[in-house]
Each structure stands twice: as structure tokens, then as C-alpha cells.
Amino acid sequence: MKSNQLQHKLNDITVGEIMPTKFGLELMADSIAEQVSEGDTNSLEVAIKMNAMEQLVKMVREKISVNVLDELNKYPKGKADINGASVSIMESIKYDFSHLPGWSELDEQISVLKEKQKAIEDHEKTYYKGNLPVKSCTTTFKISLSK
């Protein structure tokens, strides 16, 4: 490990020491990756812990969303700058086009065509998998946490 660079060991990381900047996160990621590369930390354990942290972050974000929006409403224009990060209210709008002439009919045709396309693909994958041209192939890993 480099002695002149701040090292973050995976088991020692706390939320308070994570710098909320892309650069700070990059330094931390580099430090952990270096520990894995040098054999100081088991890559499978790191992958499992990172997966657990990803799931934790999603759960926490979902559970505090209402509180965050309430807090942002106290700021001008629903935007706050804290610890060098900007947090703002974001609206997501989905429009309904079903009332337009011809739109529902086209949507139904698209659904029928997609079902036919999927049936062809499923048939080919079932009976001719070895003879199909490969579009792309990626090798990665899957993590399943226990309940």
C-alpha cells in the first residue's frame, strides 16, 4: 500500500469520511481496487459488500425521499447546496397520448408485433441456439444476498 496516499480499507469506511465529490469517490475506489489487486482484500468479499451497499443506498434513498423533499421545499426554488453537492427537486412528467386519433390503434399494433417478435426469438433460442449469430457476449457475475 502506498504510504503517502490516504488508504481506505473496505471494513473501515464510514459514511462521514466519504467525500461527496466525484474525485473523493474515485480516490476511495482506487484505494479499494488497489487493495484487491495487491491481494490485501478478497475480491469476492469486496464484490459482495459493494452489492450490499448498493442495495442499502437504494433502500435508504427510498425511505428518506419524503423527508428530503420536505427539506428541499424550505429552500429557494427547491435547491440546496450542501457539502459541495447540489440537491434539487426534480419533476418527472409522463404524458398520455391515448386520446389522440390513431394513437391507441398504433400502440395495439406495436404490442401485437412485439409479441410476435418475442415468439420468434423464443423459438429460435429454444431450437437453434447454437446456430444463431452472436450479437454480443459479456462475462460478469451475479450476487444474491441472503434474506
- Whether pLDDT at 16 is above 80: no
Name the residue among 21, 20, 26, 22 with its Cα closest to residue 8. Answer: 26
Is residue 32 classed exposed, middle or buried when 0-12, 13-18 and 19+ CB atoms within 10 A define those classes?
buried
How confident is the model over 17-32, as a mean pLDDT?
83
Output the nine-digit C-alpha cell for 93. Answer: 412528467
Task: Examine the pLDDT at 11 and tell me if it is beyond 70.
Answer: no
Question: What secondary structure letter does DSSP report for 145?
Answer: -
pLDDT band at 3; cut points 50, 70, 90: very low
Q: Is 81 helix (H, G, I), strand (E, B) or coil?
A: strand
Q: Would you say 72 and 78 are in contact if contact means Cβ atoms under 8 Å apart? A: yes
Between 80 and 28, the more confident residue is 80
Nearest by Cα to 105 from 115, 95, 117, 113: 113
Q: At what angle do helices 22-37 and 43-72 cross, to 10 degrees?
A: 170
- Model confidence at 58, in pLDDT bands (50, 70, 90)? very high
CB of 46 within 8 A of CB of 37?
no
